[in-house]
Structure 1
Amino acid sequence: MRILHTSDWHLGRSFHREGMLTHQAAFVDHLVDVVERERVDLVVVSGDVYDRALPQVDAVRLADEALVRLARSRARTVISSGNHDSAQRLGFSARLIDAAGVHLRTDAGAVGTPVVVDDKHGPVAVHAIPYLDPDAVREPWALPARSHQAALEEAMRRVRADTAARGRSRTVVLAHAFVAGGEPSDSERDISVGGVSRVPVSVFEGVTYTALGHLHGSHVLTDTVRYSGSPLAYSFSEAAQTKGSWLVELDATGVSHAELVEAPVPRPLARLRGDLATLLDDPALSRHEQSWVQATLTDPVRPHQAMDRLRRRFPHALVLAFEPVGATLDGAPVAGRPGRSDHELARDFVADLRGVPVTDDEGALLDRAVDACCDDRDLDSLVSPAEALF
């Protein structure tokens, strides 16, 4: 059996206010092409189909198109819900859609009841475990603790009970969780409960293949436990990640082969650092001119119109940060310096922002701006307007 493991589509998500729906549609095209080209028998999607519980209309249209195309393909499809999805909305009409060969599993109460797919070696029981909120399942499942580990251990107890009843059958488990060994990115939503979110990989011991979702990087925890990661980058922390889906082959006894099928990259990411003149003039950076760019400027003084100038070379620059080299300020936050006049606070704020003290001309301009905002221009020398309120 040939399985294509994907997850974390996050349909409807933007990237620093840049719409991603066109790129997500291109991934759906790629996915369907891989199913036919690689003769995939089973597609598994391990949660976070949508980016939000109430997805935008265009995201729903794209999901509908993806499911219709998968239903028409040669493969069966099993989908579980993630922490970004609304289980009720994603699972709407699941029993009816089952007839088309697309199986939506979003109800925690159905955990332990698999989708059974046959190949020449016999049946494969596919257990799609939706994202389990420990608060939601603790009482109905009588969990001993309020944690993701307790919830998944109970889910796997139900899976193993079904496996035992079936005898020596192969099992595939879909789960959406933070499993120890994976590395988080900046784009995942925190799912910690009481400061604890990680689940040990041993929870999935004995499963033929575990298809994980939630972390956006592709990770191999063991030969049989893997994260596919998201098909697109959703934060600059993912700039070095290779995006794709796992193509996994099962023989009569277990996993015989696994390889990452790389997804198309609509626009690469680049994280650049240096003074503005270097970023604008360095010929080695020409390869990033059509990339989405996160730039950190190290100029000792904040350059004038830095983003506008940067975008003349890198039109897709999205994020700009400043870490001035050689700054000599004391580092104390402006709000934490008591006894300062409004004039001094304004000067300190600009100095903190740029990393260097203001010039005499800038200070004079700031003083005039502060005076223009003050009803009583003599008040500043005695007490600040904020203090006068009390």
Structure 2
Amino acid sequence: MIKSTDKTRPAHHEPNGKGFLNPWPSYVRHGHFQALRMMLQFDRKQVNSSQVTQVAKIQNLNKDLVATHSEPAAKSDDGHNKIAYTWLGHACFLVQIDGVNILFDPVFSDRCSPSQYVGPKRVTPPPCKLDELPRIDIVVISHNHYDHLDLATIQNLQKQHQPYFYVPLGNKTWFDSIGIRTPKVRECDWWDGHDHSFHDGKSDIKILCTPCQHFTGRSIHDHYKTLWASWVVETKPKEEGQKPVKIFFGGDTGYRSVPDGKDEDEMPHCPAFKEIGDKVGPFDFSMIPIGAYSPRWFMSPIHCSPEDAVRVHEDIQSKRSVGMHWGTWVLTDEDMTEPPRRLQAAMAKRGHDPSVFSTMQIGETIVLDV
């Protein structure tokens, strides 16, 4: 990580203390001119009705979600730890581990927008209603963009479950404004960790806030004012000799900035993921974004392509990964059915078994023995 010239602040904090930044050569901050150029180049023909119909077929309406998984995964019959994970669309996952239910970036609203009358509308609906979810113990938020932090969803989760909320720095004020306050809201900087005990001490886990390459803002006036993050969940075994189970959630991230006409393999890549892998990895299960990457010259600093995602998978030392951040809203102009195909090809090109990092249906639940 690049050293900060202000010794009183971490490198990812603005020197004036009023915001945050990506402190790596792998990031390029686009301005208003570049944003206008991107909008003029946006290829709407790439997203057509036939693609939307195909994407809708990835839906797996799991009517047995509650009945099958009302109790969190714990251990298999042979004593192995189990992770049950359900993709609820976009970057939203329900992960059940060691008796604890964790929701990542839940958005159940129809539109990811300040208003439910305008803005991107869901192509694939959520596989269940909020009130059909099992008990939720913890909600983890990667950053404050509308496709990751949704007002109605958060209010309903608080009303129904009163979970703990883990959020990056600067987001506590937003939670305060809707009546959700400390100690239920844990605001974290990169590398902050918190231990949790559930079920009379039978389930102990650690939540760790980790870096990623992105930006924030819920209006045109508050970009970079709050922090963005990836997250790690780690169990704390009770039995001597038992290994902890480690889960990585990538949130929303880029990997490298790729200008038009440049060889992306020659571009600097974000060092944060190798740092995470070296410090915390290897990971038993990871959730890594693979979509919303076109046009590449504009989106590459903030969104992984499938090829970037494979590099993240390698850097963090993930044993099993699943692709997310695709197939739910039309946010960019790539073919909506393309991310899984490119992911499979990228895995093969890098010499990996494609089944180790793949995609799943919305609403599908997979139980993994680790």
TM-score over 0.5 for the pair: no
> Higher relative CO (CA 8 A, sep ≥ 6), structure 1 or 2?
2
Larger radius of gyration: 1
Superposition TM-score, scaled by structure 2 size: 0.36
Higher share in helix: 1
Larger relative strand fraction:
1
